[in-house]
Amino acid sequence: MLILRLALCLVLVASALSLAQPSEPPRHNFVDLQTLIPDLLVEMPYATPHNFTGETLYPANRAFLVEPAAQALASAAELLRAQGYRLKILDAYRPLSVQCKLWEKNPDRNFVAHPSTGSRHNRGASVDLTLITLDGAEVDMPSLYDEFGAKAGAFQKGLSPAVAVNLQVLQKAMQDSGFKLLASEWWHFDHPCWKDSPLLDIPLTEL
Ligand SMILES: [Zn+2]
């Protein structure tokens, strides 16, 4: 049954790709974030089995965004470096077929975009991230990554003063660099260039 549902989902992906991308090449180049921002820490749970699906979904721990989003992220990293922080990337470009697997495990539109419309991650324009200190220590945030529910909210009340400050530092740097917040997930940021970027299903090892 699970295999059948996944097969149906992949048919949806094929149809979304044909609708969204009428054989045009991508308008933006993809940028390897680790190359652009050398002090970035890239630790993507989907490249390991330690994520909410329990499966390794990516063949490589490599983070890509399309160029306008990548350059905006470099600006945010610069703003944060001056305040004593680095960025830790949790997810960036995500192939559309992986979106199917996430939807299979958590079919809740508040947290996972339906594969027929795709996520802005599938366009290389969204990034999931958190802060670490310059020497690599974790910085406290409202919840764990992919901890779906009220604790994931970007505008929640009742946070400890330290967590509220940490979240504000991250949000301000990202917003000042051109990203938009997502109310339901504190770790997720969208760059407006998603409107000019097609849905894609290119594996991370082929970019
Ligand atoms: Zn996200």
Question: Does 4 or 68 have the greater pLDDT score?
Answer: 68
Strand-pair category, 30-32 with 64-66 = antiparallel
Model pTM score: 0.90
Assess if CATH 3.40.50.720 describes domain 2-20+30-201: no
Q: Kindly report the average pLDDT of the chain as a whole number.
A: 90
Q: How many A from CA of 182 to the centre of ligand 1?
A: 9
Q: How many A from CA of 189 to the centre of ligand 1?
A: 7
Q: How many A from CA of 135 to the centre of ligand 1?
A: 25
Q: How many A from CA of 24 to the centre of ligand 1?
A: 25
Which tens digit of pLDDT belongs to each residue from 74-115?
999 999 999 999 999 999 999 999 999 999 988 888 788 888
Q: Where are the domains of the chain?
A: 2-20+30-201
Q: How many A from CA of 160 to the centre of ligand 1?
A: 24
Q: How many A from CA of 41 to the centre of ligand 1?
A: 17
Q: How many A from CA of 43 to the centre of ligand 1?
A: 14
Asked if residue 65 lies in contact with residue 170, where contact means CB atoms within 8 angstroms, the answer is no
What is the pLDDT at residue 19?
55
Has residue 190 got a pLDDT over 70?
A: yes
Which tens digit of pLDDT belongs to each residue from 132-164?
999 999 999 999 998 988 999 999 999 999 999
- Count Cβ neighbours within 10 Å for each residue of 133-156 and write b for 16 or more, e otherwise: eeeeeebebbbebbeeeeebbbeb
What are the Cα distances from residue 98, in Å, to 44, 95, 102, 137? 14, 6, 6, 30
Q: How many A from CA of 121 to the centre of ligand 1?
A: 6
Q: How many A from CA of 119 to the centre of ligand 1?
A: 8
Has residue 27 got a pLDDT over 80?
A: no
Instruction: Report the alpha-carbon distance of residue 98 to residue 42 in Å, rounded.
Output: 19
Q: How many A from CA of 153 to the centre of ligand 1?
A: 13
Query: DSSP string spanning the chain?
Result: -HHHHHHHHHHHHHHHHHHH-SSPPPSS-EEEHHHHSTT-EE--GGGSS-STTSS---SS---EEEHHHHHHHHHHHHHHHTTTEEEEEEE----HHHHHHHHHH---TTTS--TTT--GGGGT-EEEEEEEETT--B---SS-TT--SGGG-TT-S---HHHHHHHHHHHHHHHHTT-EEETTEEEEEE-GGGGGS------GGG-
Q: How many A from CA of 124 to the centre of ligand 1?
A: 11
How sure is the predictor about 182, in pLDDT bands with cuts at 50, 70 and 90?
very high
